[in-house]
A and B are shown apart, each in its own frame.
Chain A
């Protein structure tokens, strides 16, 4: 009567499941059995409904301590509790690794390279982000800057008026202290420093006032910071610089002759200063007293209370009272400065000249790229590219993880048998999952150790590529390595979790019966993972190509002047500058020199700013322009094209007041008839006619648009560079000749020159670094992806050995089998290529928009990386496929 159907006679399944869950291991047999028997009795006597209800009640009643498994018991069931089990798993893992060396090596190599990339990039990012945070008061220090919102691009200056610091300190209560610093070099070049016998060029001089040490944590060695730099013409040196000049660190009381502010003066050394850490935006090799600067400039505009407000001056840092909000102080300062100007009746000037603050810690990576037009203080880091690098690090780690998962799941069906046997002999699901996880974590840890070795090898190379020295000691002690270890464990767990969950769920009966063909669901997953990997890799390659194309474009673009065969010699001291015309004439006579010319700055440097407006125009409506001071030879030396009018001519003394302007300036001034129009030079308070118009030429990197430029004769400003156009031919002989001329004219300083085209190259330093790094990382990304692909292909070929054997006996050619095996993978790569194109295109379009002049992304730029990736993938896969196709079918088929 109760055998009509199994369903009807069985006890209900829900309480049974509950019972099986809580039931202790040693009672697992008889309690469920007893309950089932009772159920059957009641079914017989009272019918199903009553029996089922009783069954529910029985199960609930059995939920009592004697039947419920203990905690110790529980642990053993779900988790491989005891230490000996773990040891056994570890042993198993090692044995398995030993047996599958190739597969393990692939895995470890992929993960290790991924980790190493991540560590190196994190170290770099950490270094950049820690900039300037080592000062104890760093959170309360701000730097002042001015902005000029007129013109196409707002320009920022950190060199602000001399009087600003004192005035703000006096009138804004939140400002507790301030200090002024100033590069000890003009126009970002070098300064001549002499001891008794020798002269060197130094670029690391910084002029600071005694407050410098009150704000910043830079340390003097055995000197009182309040007095060390209080007197004029005193300085402190870093130990390295002291040794360079005197061979000893015992230099207090000695003097150095420093050629600065148009005169050579003796500076007394009052002490030593510890060198600044690498992550400081303030860098120096020697500090000169600010009093020296004030003394040198005494009697000029500096001492005029009103005039000094209209000239650029030092970088000024303010120390705010603890807890004050710098944004509030910012607006307060704007207010008090407006008051100041109003009292002078020049409020209009302020409308277009704003004073602002910037927190110290934001200087390196802040949104404002300072030093754009002012005196560059230090190379300002680039938050965007930093974020990009972090993203790449993540990408590569992801690719490596995906690799691991891919290889592990692919081998899953091979291991299914193992799982089946283990389950039959009593392993529980939790134990098998634990075993897989343990294997994955073990692999990850080994990969981590390997990656440390890789990092140690790669760091010096990376330094070259990134231009950011990271010492070995720094990274060993850095928290990055510890974090990466934690990351390695997490990666191990994550990468192992998929195989652990999927493989441990196999039903032993279906696995052992045979005919188990792997997991169809996971195959889909595996394919999308491969596609994801290749998308990352191809995007990286395209990016590299776009960047290097843009660089090539920048190097070959017609800049409006001829940069080949031009050298520049800096006129670094006042005494040379006085003889500049003489020197120029001497050099022009030397063999191999076509033209010699004088100029205030090189085309690669930031020009000075001048306030020039057409006569009769309201001055405040015009932005300031860039200005260049040159001689009559300049246009010929650089090969500028005169569009209209003429260049300066020595035969007309009145040219001194004249201007030559570029086309951008013609547009800015809105001159219909430029030649002969009169320009009013507001700062020099002189007027003069426009003599000629030159074709626009690039005086800055291609990031910037060509700005309005006015050119004047150098009699208004002593030239700082001698520019020589050399005749093509034997350049080295010419250079030797030039050095002789240099010595003959009685110069004791070293003869130092630069090729202009090399200077131009230097403008793209950060882009070149980026291109190098992208090249490196995209290579690695593709390498790791290919490791994965290689593993997958090898595995597939192995799985289909029998199929291949049968096909071959039936007459398939090697070519057809290779196609069969490769097609699937190459399709995946094709899909990846299609996905990568739009991502890379829009991403790089964004990057290119930073350049005012750019090389657009062509079809080739997109196609070449795609084809490349396809070819690499084809090579990787077909190697395996050919190997499989060439095996003698007898060998594949006899294995059964």
Chain B
């Protein structure tokens, strides 16, 4: 496994891409983050994160279809890759193992 380097926001975006599964394009991702995660995200920030993820090989993109509201321009649909999935799992396992080692007293 390559050196994993996933920013906090990147991880969130990557997760949302996995959630939306086949319908993940930047506006949908932004809406998801804003509405369901309850966090403000600017479209350009989402875009930058997507570009970085793609260059790291965690997501793939393809041109989707166009709609009238988009001024006849096509969407770029992102899908999670195998690497993307494993990096999500890795990060989750990492956290989990650390979680498990937190003494119960802390939660007291």
Binding site for B on A (CB under 8 A): 10-11, 27, 29-38, 40-41, 58, 61-62, 64, 66-67
Contact = CB atoms under 8 A, between A and B. Distances in A.
A493 B57 CA distance: 47
A29 B73 CA distance: 6
Given A36-B69, A36-B70, A31 B47 contact: yes
Contacts of A30: 25-26, 63, 73-76
Contact of B73 (A36, A61, A62, A66): A36
B100 interface: no
B48 A33 contact: no
19 contacts: A27-B76, A29-B73, A30-B25, A30-B74, A30-B75, A33-B74, A33-B75, A34-B25, A35-B43, A36-B69, A36-B70, A37-B27, A37-B67, A37-B69, A38-B43, A40-B70, A61-B43, A64-B48, A66-B52
Interface residues of B, number: 21
A33 B51 CA distance: 16
Contacts of A38: 27, 30, 43
A55 to B, nearest CB: 11
A64 B52 CA distance: 13
Contacts of A29: 63, 73-74, 76
A10 B71 contact: yes
Given A36-B71, A62-B43, 8 more contacts: A10-B71, A11-B71, A27-B76, A29-B76, A31-B47, A32-B73, A38-B27, A41-B69
Contacts of B67: 37
Contacts of A58: 42-44
B38 to A, nearest CB: 17
Residue of A33, A36, A58, A67 most packed against chain B (CB within 10 A):
A33
A33 B47 contact: no
B66 interface: yes
B16 to A, nearest CB: 15
Interface in B57-79: 63, 66-67, 69-71, 73-76
Interface of B: 25-27, 30, 42-44, 47-48, 51-52, 63, 66-67, 69-71, 73-76
Contact of B47 (A10, A40, A67): A67
A33 B66 contact: yes
A1 to B, nearest CB: 13
A62 B47 contact: yes
Which 3 A-B residue pairs are closest in the complex by CB-CB distance? A33-B73, A30-B76, A40-B69
Contacts of B42: 58, 61
A58 B51 CA distance: 17
A86 to B, nearest CB: 31
Contacts of A34: 25-27, 43, 47, 70, 75
A66 B25 CA distance: 17
Nearest to B30: A38
Nearest to A26: B76
Given A30-B25, A30-B26, A38-B27, A67 B73 contact: no
Contacts of A35: 43
Q: A interface, by DSSP: helix, strand, loop or mixed?
A: helix
Contacts of B66: 33
A4 to B, nearest CB: 15
Contacts of B52: 66
A768 B43 CA distance: 82
Nearest to B64: A30
Nearest to A33: B73
A33 B67 CA distance: 9
Contacts of B27: 34, 37-38, 41
A32 B25 CA distance: 13
A203 B51 CA distance: 90
A400 B24 CA distance: 62
Given A38-B27, A66-B51, A33 B71 contact: yes
A27 B54 CA distance: 13
Nearest to B50: A66
A320 B30 CA distance: 87
A64 B45 CA distance: 10
B31 to A, nearest CB: 8
Contacts of A67: 44, 47
Contact of A37 (B51, B63, B70): B70
Most buried by B among A10, A58, A66: A66
Nearest to B74: A29
A58 B47 CA distance: 12
A54 to B, nearest CB: 10
Contacts of A10: 71
Nearest to A31: B47
A574 to B, nearest CB: 105
A58 B52 CA distance: 19
B77 to A, nearest CB: 9
A642 to B, nearest CB: 105
A10 B72 CA distance: 12
A754 to B, nearest CB: 92
A41 B47 CA distance: 18
Contacts of A11: 71
A27 B75 CA distance: 10
A136 to B, nearest CB: 69
Contacts of A64: 44, 48
Contact of A66 (B48, B63, B71): B48
B59 to A, nearest CB: 14
B87 to A, nearest CB: 20
Nearest to A36: B71
Nearest to A39: B69
Nearest to A67: B47
Nearest to A57: B42
B32 to A, nearest CB: 13
B79 to A, nearest CB: 15
B44 A62 contact: yes
A888 to B, nearest CB: 50
A725 to B, nearest CB: 102
Nearest to B71: A36
Contacts of B43: 34-35, 38, 58, 61-62
